[in-house]
Amino acid sequence: MGWFEKLYQKGCSASGAAKEEQAKKLRQNVTMTEHQVELEDLLKGYKTSQERGLTPEQAAANLAEFGTNELTPPPKTPEWVKFMDEMTGEFNLLLWAAGVACFVSYGMLPQADNLYLGVVLFCVVTVTGVFSYLQNAKSDNMMNEFKSMRPPRVTVVRGGEVSFVDAALITIGDIVKLEQGDLVPADIRVLECSPNMCVDNSSLTGESDPIKRKPECTNADPLETANLCFFGTQVPEGSCVGVVVKIADNTVIGKIAQLALSTEAEQTPINKEIHHFIQIISAIAFALGISFFAAALGMGQDAVTSLVFMIGIIVANVPEGLLATVTVCLTLTAKRMYTKKVMVKNLEGVETLGSTSCICSDKTGTLTQNIMTVAQVVYDTNGAPKIQDAGSSFTKGISTFDTESAGFKALVKCSTLCNTCNFDKYFEDEVTGKRVLLPFSKVRVQGDGSTITEILWKTRGNASEGAMIKFAQGGPIQACFGKRDVDEMRRDFGKVFDIPFNSKNKYQVHVHCESPDPENDDKDRTIYMKGAPERIIDRCTQYMCGDGRVVEFTQELRSEVEKAQMAMGNNGLRVLGFCTKTLPIKAYGKAYPWSDGRDLGKSTANFPLGESKALASYKAGMVDDKGKPLDPPHPKSGEGLIFLGLMALVDPPREAVPGAVAKCKTAGIKVIMVTGDHPGTAEAIAYKVGILWSPTARKIEEMNAAEGLQPGDVGYQDPALAQAIVVPGWEISDDDPVAKWDAILAHPQIVFARTSPQQKLVIVGNCQRVGHVVAVTGDGVNDSPALKKADIGVAMGIAGTPVTKNAADMILLDDNFASIVAGVEEGRLIFDNLKKSICYTLTSNIPEISPFLCWIVFLTPMPLSTVLILAIDLGTDMVPAISMAYEDAEADIMKRPPRNAATDHLVTGKLMCLAYLQIGVMQALAGFYAWMLVLNDYGFPPVVLVGNPGATAPTGKLGFFADQVMYCKFKGGQYVNALGQVDEGQVIAGDKDPWAGSVSVGAGLRRDPSEVGPRRQYPLWDRGDAGYLESCSFAAKNFNGRRAAPKAGQTWSGGFDYRDADTYKRRTDGQPLPTVESIYALQSQKYFEYVPWRGRMSEFWDSKWLAWDITRSEFKLAKGAKAGVLGYKNNKKAATFSFLGQPPGVWSVCLGNDGNLQGKETDSDLVKLPKMDQLYKGVKMEHVDLPTTCAGETKYRTWYKDAVFCNGGYDANGDAKGGAGCADLDDVTANLFYCKPTDGVPSCRPDCESASPAEIAADIAAHPKAEDRTIKQCQNVASRMVQKNALMHSQAAYWVSIVVVQWADLLICKTRWLSIKQQGLRNSVLNFGLFFETLLAAWLCYGGIFSVLGTQPIRFTHWMPGVPWSMMIFMYAAAFYLFSFASTAPGREHAASRDERTTPTRRRRRAREQGREETSTTRKRRYDETRKYMMRATSPEVVDAVTGAIKRQAGWIEKSTYY
C-alpha cells in the first residue's frame, strides 16, 4: 500500500488511537464462558428452550437487539485510488517532478530537448504505472470469502416448530439442527448429538482431522472444549442440536475476519530500499543542482539560464529508465517463480521473500503432505511382531511387508472392512457431462523438481480410515485377495452390523459375513475391530501368527507389540491396533439380534468384544460420577479377541522439506513451526524435517533423570541452556512481557503448537519486533491475520482456503515448503540482480551530468544533449539492465546470512563509489575524449572550445558555438576554396574584397591568413604545412533590441520579410545579437571568419553552405507546423536564424545611434566570458576601420538598444534598404552577397558575379515580388553549419563511447562475488543485450531519424575512442593488484588458519579453486576480476556449530568494496 492509498484510508477511517485499541482487543486470545455455564442457566438467560426454541416475538426482539448474522464489511478502496497509488509511488513522484521541471525549463527557455525529455518522462511513468497496476490488480474479496463460509439456510426450532431460516436471520438463543455435510452457521453450544458427531475445524486450526463433539464441557479453553461448534466449520459426520451463543462479528471467525481486515500490511523491504535510493539520488541531484546554480549565478550567468542549468543537472541525475527496469526485472522474476510453483500476487513480494530471515511455517500441508498415510505396519514375522515399512515417503518409498503372509492379509482385510471411508473415483467432464473414471494415482512434479505420488481418488470420510483404504488400494488388496478395488472387497464380504467409533470406547467394530448377501449367507460371521492400541491389546487373548495359526497372546508377545507401538509413537506416528474373531453361525445365526447393548440395558455389546475386565469389575448398584446407575455388561461380550497387528499412520513430511530446511539453515534463515496440532506431534515432525535437531529442556531433564545425574556431575546437561523449545499456545498471549518473548525467540530452534489465530499474529509481530523479516505460511482461515501482518504472506494453493489466498502476497501452487526456499533463492537473486542493474544504470549518471558541468564551468559547447541522455537511459541501457534479471545465482547466494536491512541496502556507499567515482568517471573521460577527438578531426581543437560556449538550443545568451560565425586568429596556413585550390591572389572580375588595401593582398600574392581575412571565393582555412589556430572567439552580442517579435503580415502593410531590411524595425524578440561593430573589433585584432578545411572534408559537408540562398530553409521541419516543436516561435526565424547568431545581413549600432555610442550603452546580463572580455577591452570605434564614422567603444558585456539592419539591398529608386549609411556597409562582410544569374539561371554560387547596387535596384523595380527576382541574396553559412554538424557528430561520438564503455561495465556488473570465468557467459539475454545496445546505437546513428535525436552517422573510426577506456575498466590499476596482494598477505595467512576449522574437503576444494583463479589472474590481471579474486581469498567461510549456517568472515577488501 502506497502513501496515496494510506492517505485515502486515513481520511475515511477512525483515528489511529481508536484503531490501535480495537486491534489490541482483537489480538487477545478467544475468551468465552458460554460453554461452561450450566445448560439450564444458559437457556434461561437466552429465554429459549431446547424443545421449543425462541418464540417468534423473542427471535424478532433478539434480531433487533443483536443485529443480523452478517460480518461487517470493511471500507472498500476504489479502483481509482489503487491506480493513483501505483502512479504516485516515490520513484514515480521523482520522475513526475523531473518531467514537470523539464516543462518549466522549456517554458523559461524554449529548448526542444527539455520538451522531449518532459514528454518521455511522463510517458515512462504512465506506462510503468499502468503496468504495475495491472500486474498487482487483485480484488480484495476477503470479506466475500468469509461470507461464503456461511450456509444459505439453517434448520431452526422456533415456537416449537421446525423451519428453514436464512442464515443471516438466525440470532442469539436460536435452537439449530445440524446434519452431516452442513456448515455451522454461527458459534453454537452442543445440546445433544449422535455418538459419531464430529466437526472439521481445519478452517480454524489448519488441522484436517475431524474432532469429536459432545454436550459436556471438556476444557476451559473454548477452542479445546468438545461442546462448541464454530461458525464456518463443517460437520463431516453425525448430527447435533445446539443453541446459538455468538453471531456475526462476535463469532470466532468474525473476530478473525476483523483481525485480518484490521491488520495493516507491512512496508515491503524493496519498497523501503527504493525509498532509501530515492533519498540518496534526490539528495545528490538537488545538492549538485543548487550548488551549480549558485556557481552559475556567481559566474555572471543570468537567473533563467542558471535555473535551466540547475534543472538539467537534477534531471540528469534521475535514472529515467530505472523505474521500468525494476518493474520489468520483478515481473520476469515473478514469472520465473511461477514455473517453480510460486505465484506472486504483489510484485514487490518477489524480493521480500529473498530478504526473509525468519519463516513461520504451518505444519499440515506445508511441511507435511496433508495426506494421512500408512507409514509402517506390524504383524507376526517368524513368530514375533515386527515393524515393516509400508512404502511411504516416511520410509523413503521402501516397502518390506510380505503380501504372502497370512497375518498381513488378515491385517489388510480388517483395516479395509472395519472402515466407513469411501473413494470418489470419478470426475464429471464439463464438455460431455459424463462421469469419467480417474486413474488411482499419478506422479506430480513439484516446484523444486522433486516428484510426489498424488492419489487422484479422493476419500470421503475420516482421514485415518482414508489412509488405510489408500494403502490397501495401492497394491495389497490386489496381491492378497485378487480384488479390483476396495468397493469389490466390501461387496464380497457383506456387512452385518457395526458400532461406530466414539471417544469413550476408542474403538470401532464391524461384523461381516463371507458373501455379498448377509441374509442368505450361512457361513460363520467375523468380527473386525480397530482402535487405540492399548484398548485393542487389552481385549485380545489370542495372537495370529504369520502362517495363519492362532496362538495364545502371551505376556512376551504383548511386550513386543508394546515396544513396536512405542517405537512408532516416538517417531510421531499415530498407531492403531487391529483384532478379529470368528463367530460360529450356529451361535450367531442369520436372525441374531446384534446390539451394542444400549437397547438391551447393557453397557457392552451382545457378542464377544474382550470385555472380561468390565465383567469382572462390575458390581450391582454401581453409579457414575453423576449418581446415575450403571448398566451391567453383557455376558457374551467377555470372550477375548485375536490380535492381528498395528498400523502406524502419519501425515508424512514432504520428501524435499528436510533438504529445504537444511538449506535455510545454511542461508541463515530461522525456520519456526507454528501449528494448531498437538505439541507432541508437532515436535516429532519438527525433528523429522530438521526444524529441531537438539534436545528440548524437557528431554534434557529426562536424560539427566535417566542417567541419575545432578548439577555438577560429569555429563550433566543444564536444561536452561537448551537450544530447542516447544511452546504450547496456552503458555503465551499478547500481554506477555517483552522479556519473555525475547527469551523464547532467542532459541535457534522453535516450535509453537496448539496456537490460535490471535497467537499466530502475536508470534509474527514479536519476530518482526526483534528485527526479522518474516515470511508466514498458512492454509486455514486462522492464518489470514498472520499472513497480512507478515512481511510476506504465503498461502497454500491446493489446501488453502479462499480467505487465506486473498490475504497472502504469494501462493504456493504445490503446497510445498521447498518451493518457499526456491522462492527465497529467487528473492535473493533478484536483490543481487537489482543491485547489478542499478550499478550498471548509475554508471552512466556521471557521463550524463559532467557535460552540464563542463558547459557551465569551462564554458564549452554542450558535449551531450538531453535527448541523447534519454537515448542512453531509455534506449541502449534498458535491455542490458533488464538482462541482469536473467543472471544466474552466484555460488554463495544461499551461503550468505539474510541481509541486514539496516546496513545492506539496495544502494550502498560502496555501490555509489563504484558506479560514480570509478566506472562513472572513466565513462565520462571516455566521452570527453571522443567528443574532443571528433571536434578536432573537424577543425575545432580543444584550445578553441574552452571559453566559447554554445546553448543547448539556438537561443539564449550562451548561444555562440554552432549559433554564430566563428572568428579565429590564424598562425600561418592558407585560404582555399571548396576544391582545395589555394588563394594565390587570382584576379576575379567584380570581386569585392574588404581587405583589398592590405599590403599582402594583390594580384599574384598568396593571402596571409595571419594578416587578412578570406575572400568570398576562397572562404576555407587550411593549416597547410605548419599553420595552427592561436585562438578563436565570437562577435559580441552588443545589440539588445525590442522584446516584441517582428510584426506578422504582408510587407506592403508593414509586415515582416526577412529579405527586406526595412521591415526589421529593431524588433529582436528580446534576443541579444552581434553587430558589425563587434565583428570589426575582432578583425582589427586579426580574428577572421573561420571555415575549417577539415569540415570541408567531412561526411556532412554541403558546398551550398558557402553560398546559401536565404529563401531556403535550413531545417526540414521549419516550414511546417512542427517547427514550433523544435523550440522556435515562428517558421521565419527557423528558416535562417534571422534574429539569432547569423542574420541575413548586419546590425549596426553606430548607424542606430547617429555615429556616437558614447553614453548610449547599458550593462548587459550576459555571462562573463574572460576571453571575450579581454578581446573587447578598450577597443575604440575610430581604430577599427569602420566604413562609417563612429565614436565610442564596443565592449562584450554592454549593449545598445538602437541599431539599424543592413543587408545590401536597395529599393526601386536605388536607395539602400535599412536606412541612411547602409550603402557604406555593402562590402564589409564576406558572408553576405548578391549573385547575378549564372548562365541565365538565378542561383547562389561562391564564385558568382556580384551584383551592383544599380543592378539590385533595377531587379527590384522589374520584379516587385521577391520570388520573381533574378538576383539572389546569398549568404555564407558554412562557419556556423560546420560548427553545428561537428558538434552534433561529437555529441553522437560521446554517446557512442558511453555505449562502448558500457560493454565492459555490463560484464563487470554481472557478478558481485565470483569471477566472470566462474560465472560464465551463459546469460543469453545479457549476451543479446550487448549486441542490442550496439545495434541500437548503430541504428540510431545510421537509421535516418537524426532530426529528432540529433544523432549523426559518425565515422566508424569515431566508435573507437571508447574501446581503450572499455578495456581500461578491466585493466586499470594493475598496481592495485600488486598493492592488494602485498597488503593482504598477512590477512591471507590469518584466513588460512581460520580455514582449518572447516572440513578438509572444503579446504581442498577451496585450494583447487584458488589455484585455478591464480592461474587465470596471472594470465590476465584485470582490475575488477583481481578485486573479486582477492575479496574471495581474504573472506573465509566457517560453519556455525549451533545453527549449521555457513558464515563468511568478511576481509578488508570485501568490507571496502563489496557492494
Phi/psi zone of residue 1287: left (φ > 0), alpha (ψ -120 to 50 degrees), beta? Answer: alpha
Q: Are strands 373-381 and 384-389 parallel, antiparallel or unpaired?
A: antiparallel
What residues contact 441, with CB distance under 8 A and at least 6 apart? 453, 454, 455, 456, 457, 474
What span, in angstroms and rounded, lies between the C-alpha atoms of 627 and 644?
39
**Residue 1333 · residue 841 · CB < 8 Å:** no
Place of cell 484436517: 208
Cα 94 to the center of its chain, rounded Å: 18
What span, in angstroms and rounded, lies between the C-alpha atoms of 762 and 28?
9
Place of cell 531587379: 1259
Within 71-160, strands assigned E span 153-158
**Residue 915 · residue 843 · CB < 8 Å:** yes
What span, in angstroms and rounded, lies between the C-alpha atoms of 597 and 1018?
130
Place of cell 446459538: 244
Bridge partner residues of 381 (DSSP): 384
What span, in angstroms and rounded, lies between the C-alpha atoms of 1174 and 1196?
9
**Residue 211 · residue 89 · CB < 8 Å:** no
Helix (H) or strand (E) segment spanning residue 774: strand 774-778
Place of cell 444459505: 152
| Cell numbers placing 828 | 535473493
| Cell numbers placing 1343 | 537509421
φ, ψ for residue 914 (rounded to 5)? Answer: -65, -45
Residue type for 1350, please? Answer: G
What span, in angstroms and rounded, lies between the C-alpha atoms of 1204 and 1076?
10
| Cell numbers placing 1247 | 564564385
**Residue 797 · residue 772 · CB < 8 Å:** no
| Cell numbers placing 494 | 457383506
- CA angle 378/381/383 to nearest 5° reads 115
Q: Is 736 a catalytic residue?
A: no
Tell me how far apart the terminal alpha carbons of the chain are, to the nearest angstrom: 29
What span, in angstroms and rounded, lies between the C-alpha atoms of 188 and 1397?
62
What span, in angstroms and rounded, lies between the C-alpha atoms of 1088 and 1083?
6
Within 502-638, strands assigned E span 507-512, 525-531, 540-544, 550-552, 574-583
- CA angle 174/180/182 to nearest 5° reads 50
Candidate list 182, 302, 362, 651, residue with the active-site label: 362
Place of cell 578583425: 1083
What span, in angstroms and rounded, lies between the C-alpha atoms of 1152 and 380?
126
Start-end of H helices in 458-583: 463-473, 476-481, 486-492, 533-539, 555-570
Q: Are strands 1088-1089 and 966-971 parallel, antiparallel or unpaired?
A: antiparallel
Total Cβ atoms within 10 A of residue 903: 7
What span, in angstroms and rounded, lies between the C-alpha atoms of 884 and 1329?
9
**Residue 1147 · residue 1039 · CB < 8 Å:** yes
Bridge partner residues of 165 (DSSP): 154
Place of cell 530447542: 724
What span, in angstroms and rounded, lies between the C-alpha atoms of 375 and 575?
10
Start-end of H helices in 318-443: 322-339, 349-355, 406-417
Catalytic (active-site) positions: 362
